Amino acid sequence: GESVGLHLPTLSVQEGDNSIINCAYSNSASDYFIWYKQESGKGPQFIIDIRSNMDKRQGQRVTVLLNKTVKHLSLQIAATQPGDSAVYFCAEIGGSEKLVFGKGTKLTVNP
Amino acid sequence: DVKVTQSSRYLVKRTGEKVFLECVQDMDHENMFWYRQDPGLGLRLIYFSYDVKMKEKGDIPEGYSVSREKKERFSLILESASTNQTSMYLCATTMVGRRRGYTFGSGTRLTVV
C-alpha cells in the first residue's frame, strides 16, 4: 500500500543554522505533497505544499524540494529559530482526498 | 479562519467502556476525518466522511465506528475501549477539492486503563 516515511525521527540543530528534514514516499501516483508542523499540544499546521509537476517551491524561510526520480521530499528551514522546534510531518495525496502521513521528525533547536 | 473543536483535551476511560469523541467545525466543510497519532507511527486514518450520513473506512478502522448526523459534527466511537486504543486522536476537515485546506483540531489524548 502507499506509505510516506521520514529518514530520521529526531534532528537537533543550533539556532541560526539551516535545517533539512527528509521524507521518502513510495506511491508514485501521488501528485501533491504537504509539510506540516505540529507544536506541542496542538494539531498539525500547514507549512508549505508542492505539486508533482514542480521540483522546488519556496516560502518564507522554508523551501520544499521534490525529487520524483527517487521519490524523495525535503523541507529546508533557513536560519532556524527556537520557535521552529516542533514535529514535522510530510504528507501526500494521490487520487483521493485522503492525506497519508509520514512518521514525523522532531526538530529541536538549541540556543 | 476555520475552527475545528474537539470536545475534550484529555480523557481517561476504563477498558470496556463505550467512548465518544466529538469534533465540530464551523465552516461548512464537506470532508471530515479522524486520525490517531502514536509515537513513531505518525498519523493514521481511522475513518472519514464526505457528507452527512456518509462514512468510509480508513487504514485502521477496527474497534472504531463513526457518526455524522449533521454536517458540522463528526463523532468517533470506541464501542468497547481497550488499552491499545490509548492514543492522541485528531480530527481534520477540508472542503471538497481543497487538498491544501486541511484544518486540524488540537487533539484529544485518550488513556484507557
Average pLDDT, chain A: 89
pLDDT of residue A97: 72
What is the SS3 assignment for B60? coil
Which residue in A98, A105, A106 has the most chain B C-beta atoms within 10 A of its own C-beta, making it the best mutation to test that interface? A98
Q: Which residue has the cell 539551516?
A: A18
pLDDT tens-digit readout, B41-87: 889 999 999 999 999 999 999 999 999 999 999 999 999 999 999 99
Reported as a pLDDT band with limits 50, 70 and 90, residue A8 is low
Beta strand segments in A15-99, E: 19-25, 32-38, 45-51, 56-58, 62-67, 72-77, 86-93
Q: Is the pLDDT of residue A53 over 60?
A: yes
- Say if CB B63 and CB B36 are below 8 A apart: no
pLDDT, mean of residues A19-25: 93
Backbone phi, psi, residue B108, to 5°: -125, 120
**pLDDT score for A1:** 33
User: pLDDT tens for residues A76-92?
Assistant: 999 999 999 999 999 99
Inter-chain CB proximity A46 and B105 less than 8 Å: no
User: Nearest CB to B106: which of A34, A42, A104?
Assistant: A42
Query: CA-based angle B34:B38:B42, to the nearest 5?
Result: 75
B19 has pLDDT over 60: yes
Flag whether pLDDT at A62 surpasses 60.
Answer: yes
Most confident of B55-59, B92-96, B97-101: B55-59
User: Which among B5, B53, B62 has a CA at the least distance from the CA of B30?
Assistant: B53
**What CATH number should be reported for the domain whose range is A4-110?**
2.60.40.10
Reply yes or no on whether the pLDDT at A57 is more than 50: yes
Q: Are A36 and A102 in contact (CB under 8 A)?
A: no
Q: Give the closest-approach CA distance of B17 to chain A in angstroms.
A: 25
pLDDT surpassing 70 at residue A2:
no
Average pLDDT over residues A9-24: 94
What H or E segment, with its residue span, contains residue A16? none
Does the pLDDT at position B98 exceed 80? no
Give the number of domains in chain B: 1
Cβ distance B58 to A98 less than 8 Å, yes or no, reads yes
d(CA B109, CA A32): 29
Q: How many CB atoms lie within 10 A of CB B1?
A: 6
Predicted local distance difference test score (pLDDT) of residue B39: 85
Q: Test B104 with A43 for CB contact under 8 angstroms.
A: yes
Residue found by looking up cell 507549512 in the block:
A47
CB-closest option in A34, A41, A101 to B106:
A41
Q: In which domain, by residue range, is B70 found?
A: 4-112
CATH of the domain at B48: 2.60.40.10
Quote the minimal CA–CA distance from A46 to chain B in Å.
8
Which residues from B are below 8 Å from A101, CB to CB? 35, 42-44
The percentage of chain B sitting over the pLDDT mark of 70, rounded to a whole number, equals: 98
Check if the beta carbon of residue B8 is closer than 8 Å to that of residue B18.
Answer: no
Share of chain B above pLDDT 90, in %: 81
pLDDT exceeding 90 applies to what percent of chain A? 70
Distance CA A93, CA A104 (A): 16
